[in-house]
A and B are shown apart, each in its own frame.
Chain A
């Protein structure tokens, strides 16, 4: 299953992906992000400071404790505490500010990532959607974005903070004592290596867990989908057995991942304790032996230095734990980011067309004049505006709906030609029906007309213009499509009809519904045209959904229609209504019908019989019957019954 491949893949180049994520975040929040960094910096420095004050406090205490003279010590202790309090106050403010900013940045950038993906997805060629499974694409919006959330919200600031803490604590340590610093750093390196090994295993197993989840999900989905079959075959035990296998693998992966993750903290914490002991013993040794204490400050090693130093050891060790805590989320987040970038980097649908569709008026003598759509004299006519680069002139051709294919070859993948040498023409208002077995190339031809795919060889002309020269959006505006699988969108019935033409008035939408034969049932819905449709119109029947998609095409009112008949079995009565709707839609338009029923074929102006991507017969129904070829055989195949 490709979903398994998609999820749970380790990131390929962490460094490059991380750099790109940070670059993008900076692009999204050029002011706020540096402000966060500055605040974190301040907070770090301040958090490292108490060690200095503790050293001072202890020095004071050391001075006075034998005499017990609090009165003379008090001002110095108070001064220390007061400065510390002020610093803390600053740190608190910084902390509050960057935490708030990060909340804004996280959600804001996630939204931007989402929209980037969605917007980019809109611009991708149909080929992308035909070659990628929906589940995989949806996974970008759910799993991958979720993984990034954790990374941006927590890991990035935490790692930055940790890094700064390490540096600032490290500096203070160097201020006091070089030899002790070496002991601490040495210990920290050992801890870091250990953490890396454990966290790495944990992350690997978390990725494995994701794959296992996908497998379990796939199985449950498949079984739920076929539950009735499972029951009528009494296949429950076998299905359960298969589930157990996947479930056990899931558990094994999850247990391994959690085992590493759970043991990491106690191990690191106690390693920190051991390091603490080591530093304590070392400082004891240094104190007793009185070794020289090279340091930036030049202070001798005293108890007042040793105590805060031990504290810093703890702080230093804690940071290692913090880093290891973030490893999982960083690995997962970067893997998610990398996949999201994969989507964003997909090449978009190109459009070199320059011929545009413009509103126009046509004079009695046939002269075409461009006009605005708001002009009072506009009577709803359209024309192709064709600028000629060579001489700078512009030609206007009235939009009529004349479509011709000349020697068209096409392959979805190079080398696997699925259409050979297809030539056909449809004059304005004519009806062309495609007949042929599954895979004969019927749908493929319609994919070429609106340039969902581009032809390999030959040419297609629309009103005499090569369609490659027409802007895709204008070409598609001039071609209506009623597809086999009806897709409705969340919104009211009216919204769904208006999808065909956004500026259509309510009256126009109702008129289109009436034309399609949808008006009757829509009025019987609880809220009529304001009934909310969700989940692809799940509350409607198949036939009703088709009627709405016909109405949607009717409101767009294009001169050329492509109708892909639905194959699902609907009952005869509904079928008749749908058929009437289709017929109404075809009137006065050039129509290409992918026929699954003879009734739609018979009154076509031309029937094209396709076989393995070639046109093997063409003509009217009568001509083809007379010819006694493949069409006739197909046709009489149904006869034998009598």
Chain B
């Protein structure tokens, strides 16, 4: 399938539709994952409320304390006021700490559920859906995007409640304490608010743009890393350095621009704090002296400043939350896309739970990956395979051989016509029933990290050691497995990097055999196996699984020569069906493939015994 792009790109149209979904819809869908952490999420703002109330009261009492000291009160009064204050601090601490804990629980729990829901939903995806996302994009969505949403959520339930409360309460306290003096805040707060939000508004879109550029820069490094042998072979180190330097400088410029705007926040904030300080010192002195301490006393003097600082800090916090939440919107949308995508392969309402036999019928099947009829990969395929038959499929790259067989276990659904297995439409079966009777060894063989035994047990969870051994022998895998020091307990690294291509293919065949399927599909799955072993595998299958319908897709005619019938595929259509001899005689495509592989008599045979794969 070399014509298919290696990494499917995200369907632009799909992304566009999702970006038209309203905030509320996105939010509601994501909040659906809160579930068991709802209590913690509700408790957090309530606890925060308690914390704030006491926090606000503390300066009121400190003012009293100072006035008590100033009035030269006796020690008992000072200590008792101090004790009240200490108690308040402790209560505030208790509330605050509790809120911190519930907040951590609520937000990380929410994130966990989000990841879980995403991953579970991905598992239900049909490939028509999976192909819309690239796998690296799904990884980022599950990790980075969720992490950012978690941060925003944490801020929302904790700080976003806390800050407005504080703002209002601190102002109320300041006003009740200092009367008209508190009006300075009425002036200064809007000034700060406008300035801070102006900065954020300017900077958020810039950051969004930069992050994309930043990703591109990292991709450049990754590309260089992957191609380092090419770089070194062509002595292009300096060239690469220059290229990278240019790209890095661009990212630097953009980031610096954004950060410099953001860096205006601190001086703006300081300006406001300073203004309040100067005002309070001047106007406060005036108020105390002119009213002879009636309106305001020395104790309130510093509490007023404390409240002022509290209010301004909260504004700062609010602007940061605003930025965080705005920036996380994109993350939320990307999560939404994954949560909202629904499979196109649906379970029937009244599923059939038994597959009668291994017969397969393609009834005027048409299929297109995009659902768009003008871009059909398969057109009007009419093919009827009897149970137990051995079918070979030959055809050049892009002739849709793999597309055809993927319809059998419903990895994709037909766009037109029907596919029947055991005489019934595949869409009538329970999905698990169907897939358990169809074993498919894919062109892209994948083993998972774990021991060989664990990998083989994918085919049958409770397989005995004898069963495993039998399957491995049939797949011609036993011999080399026995050669490993740990035999069947040999650990396979992620991606199966520690076995050769041919070995991997044979293990994958063994894994499929353990299913005892009614239909076995080998999609070019012996390409790295030498021809002799290939033949042994096919002979084994013929003898040990005579009942099983076998479909063998191959590049080499030698792999299908002994099939009952051979199907020649050409650009999505069945070009011809017949035995090896028949096709040699009458089919031009088949003859061309055969001759190109057998051209100068036997000399041009592949050196299969070599079991070629990535070397050293």
Number of A residues contacting the other chain (C-beta, 8 Å)? 179
Q: Is B302 an interface residue (CB 8 A)?
A: yes
A234 and B435 contacting across the interface, CB-CB below 8 Å: yes
For the complex, what is the distance from the CA of A240 to the CA of B119, rounded to whole Å? 8
| CB-contacts of B97-121 with A (<8 A) | 97, 99-101, 103-105, 107-109, 111-112, 115-116, 119-120
Closest to B559 in A: A641
Q: Give the residue among A288, A306, A314, A438 with the most B Cβ atoms within 10 A.
A: A438
* B175-183, B241-249, B319-327, B542-550 - the one binding chain A: B241-249
A262 and B101 contacting across the interface, CB-CB below 8 Å: yes
Q: Is B558 an interface residue (CB 8 A)?
A: yes
Q: Is B485 an interface residue (CB 8 A)?
A: no
* A112-120, A358-366, A376-384 - the one binding chain B: A112-120
| CB-contacts of B23-40 with A (<8 A) | none
Return chain B residues, CB-CB under 8 Å to A443. Answer: 615-616
Shortest distance from the beta carbon of B553 to any chain A beta carbon, whole Å: 11
Known contacts A53-B281, A236-B123; A248 and B100 CB within 8 A of each other: no
Return chain A residues, CB-CB under 8 Å to B245. Answer: 115, 118
Q: Mark B578-600, 1 if CB is under 8 A from A, else 0.
A: 00000000000000110011000
Return chain B residues, CB-CB under 8 Å to A216. Answer: 115, 142-143
Shortest distance from the beta carbon of B360 to any chain A beta carbon, whole Å: 15
B501 partner, pick from A134, A567, A573, beta carbons under 8 A: A567
B234 and A499 contacting across the interface, CB-CB below 8 Å: yes
Return chain A residues, CB-CB under 8 Å to B286. Answer: 70, 74, 77
Closest to B554 in A: A569
For the complex, what is the distance from the CA of A87 to the CA of B127, rounded to whole Å? 67
| CB-contacts of A186-243 with B (<8 A) | 213, 216-218, 220-222, 224-236, 239-240, 243
> Could you list some 23 contacts between A and B, CB below 8 A?
A58-B301, A61-B289, A99-B264, A122-B224, A134-B222, A137-B225, A138-B221, A220-B139, A239-B123, A243-B116, A251-B112, A258-B154, A259-B101, A266-B96, A277-B82, A307-B301, A314-B306, A442-B616, A452-B229, A483-B233, A568-B2, A569-B555, A637-B609
B611 partner, pick from A68, A92, A314, A437, beta carbons under 8 A: A437
Q: Is B3 an interface residue (CB 8 A)?
A: yes
Known contacts A1-B494, A95-B267, A303-B69; A123 and B237 CB within 8 A of each other: yes
Shortest distance from the beta carbon of B456 to any chain A beta carbon, whole Å: 11
* A171-179, A330-338, A400-408, A484-492 - the one binding chain B: A484-492
Shortest distance from the beta carbon of A516 to any chain B beta carbon, whole Å: 16
B248 partner, pick from A111, A271, A595, beta carbons under 8 A: A111
A80 partner, pick from B143, B227, B281, B608, beta carbons under 8 A: B281
A122 and B259 contacting across the interface, CB-CB below 8 Å: no
| CB-contacts of B52-103 with A (<8 A) | 55, 58, 62, 65-66, 68-70, 72-75, 78-79, 82, 85-86, 88-90, 92-93, 95-97, 99-101, 103
A65 and B292 contacting across the interface, CB-CB below 8 Å: yes
Return chain A residues, CB-CB under 8 Å to B289. Answer: 61, 64-65, 68-70, 73
For the complex, what is the distance from the CA of A599 to the CA of B142, rounded to whole Å? 48
For the complex, what is the distance from the CA of A228 to the CA of B402, rounded to whole Å? 12
For the complex, what is the distance from the CA of A138 to the CA of B223, rounded to whole Å? 10
Q: Is B293 an interface residue (CB 8 A)?
A: yes
Shortest distance from the beta carbon of B571 to any chain A beta carbon, whole Å: 13
A638 partner, pick from B240, B285, B605, beta carbons under 8 A: B605
* B250-258, B367-375, B465-473 - the one binding chain A: B250-258
Shortest distance from the beta carbon of A269 to any chain B beta carbon, whole Å: 7
Known contacts A122-B240, A234-B436, A481-B229; A77 and B82 CB within 8 A of each other: no
B439 partner, pick from A102, A122, A232, A306, beta carbons under 8 A: A232
A634 and B607 contacting across the interface, CB-CB below 8 Å: yes
A224 and B135 contacting across the interface, CB-CB below 8 Å: yes
| CB-contacts of B134-182 with A (<8 A) | 135-136, 138-139, 142-143, 147, 150, 154, 158
A220 and B142 contacting across the interface, CB-CB below 8 Å: yes
Q: Is A444 an interface residue (CB 8 A)?
A: yes
For the complex, what is the distance from the CA of A595 to the CA of B409, rounded to whole Å? 38
Interface residues on B, range: 35 or more
Q: Is B14 an interface residue (CB 8 A)?
A: no
Return chain A residues, CB-CB under 8 Å to B411. Answer: 228, 231-232
Closest to B345 in A: A231
A477 and B235 contacting across the interface, CB-CB below 8 Å: yes
A598 and B607 contacting across the interface, CB-CB below 8 Å: yes
Q: Mark A460-498, 1 if CB is under 8 A from B, else 0.
A: 000000000000110011011101110111100000000
Q: Is B482 an interface residue (CB 8 A)?
A: no
Q: Mark A372-412, 1 if CB is under 8 A from B, else 0.
A: 00000000000000000000000000000000000000000
* B188-196, B376-384, B418-426, B522-530 - the one binding chain A: B522-530
A228 partner, pick from B228, B444, B603, beta carbons under 8 A: B444
Q: Is B16 an interface residue (CB 8 A)?
A: no
Return chain A residues, CB-CB under 8 Å to B143. Answer: 213, 216-217, 220
* B270-278, B347-355, B385-393 - the one binding chain A: B270-278
Q: Give the residue among B2, B51, B135 with the most A Cβ atoms within 10 A.
A: B2
A229 and B442 contacting across the interface, CB-CB below 8 Å: yes
Return chain B residues, CB-CB under 8 Å to A122. Answer: 224, 231, 237-238, 240-241
Q: Is B604 an interface residue (CB 8 A)?
A: yes
Closest to B141 in A: A220
Q: Is B232 an interface residue (CB 8 A)?
A: yes
Q: Is B17 an interface residue (CB 8 A)?
A: no
Q: Mark A552-570, 1 if CB is under 8 A from B, else 0.
A: 1000100000001001111
* A278-286, A292-300, A506-514 - the one binding chain B: A278-286
Shortest distance from the beta carbon of B63 to any chain A beta carbon, whole Å: 10
Return chain A residues, CB-CB under 8 Å to B290. Answer: 68, 70
Return chain A residues, CB-CB under 8 Å to B264. Answer: 96, 99
For the complex, what is the distance from the CA of A574 to the CA of B399, rounded to whole Å? 13
Known contacts A64-B289, A310-B302; A442 and B449 CB within 8 A of each other: no
Closest to B503 in A: A438
B616 partner, pick from A66, A106, A439, A574, beta carbons under 8 A: A439
A594 and B232 contacting across the interface, CB-CB below 8 Å: no
Shortest distance from the beta carbon of A344 to any chain B beta carbon, whole Å: 14
Return chain A residues, CB-CB under 8 Å to B74. Answer: 288
For the complex, what is the distance from the CA of A247 to the CA of B592, rounded to whole Å? 53
For the complex, what is the distance from the CA of A473 to the CA of B436, rounded to whole Å? 57
B532 partner, pick from A234, A240, A269, A640, beta carbons under 8 A: A640
B293 and A637 contacting across the interface, CB-CB below 8 Å: no
For the complex, what is the distance from the CA of A488 to the CA of B255, rounded to whole Å? 29
A225 and B495 contacting across the interface, CB-CB below 8 Å: yes
Further contacts, 18 of them, CB under 8 A, given A450-B233, A488-B227? A77-B285, A81-B282, A118-B241, A134-B226, A255-B109, A269-B93, A273-B85, A273-B86, A277-B85, A284-B65, A303-B298, A307-B302, A437-B610, A536-B227, A556-B234, A569-B528, A569-B555, A573-B596
Return chain A residues, CB-CB under 8 Å to B448. Answer: 222, 226, 229
Return chain B residues, CB-CB under 8 Å to A271. Answer: 93
Return chain A residues, CB-CB under 8 Å to B612. Answer: 438, 567, 596
A499 partner, pick from B236, B255, B277, B602, beta carbons under 8 A: B236
Shortest distance from the beta carbon of A27 to any chain B beta carbon, whole Å: 17
Return chain B residues, CB-CB under 8 Å to A476. Answer: 232-235
A57 and B281 contacting across the interface, CB-CB below 8 Å: yes
Q: Is B184 an interface residue (CB 8 A)?
A: no
Q: Is A110 an interface residue (CB 8 A)?
A: yes
| CB-contacts of B280-326 with A (<8 A) | 281-282, 284-286, 288-293, 298-299, 301-302, 305-306
| Chain A to chain B: the 3 pairs with minimum beta-carbon distance, closest first | A266-B96, A262-B100, A487-B227
For the complex, what is the distance from the CA of A634 to the CA of B607, rounded to whole Å? 7
Q: Mark B417-450, 1 if CB is under 8 A from A, else 0.
A: 0000000000000011001101110101010110
* A8-16, A523-531, A539-547, A584-592 - the one binding chain B: A539-547
Shortest distance from the beta carbon of A484 to any chain B beta carbon, whole Å: 7
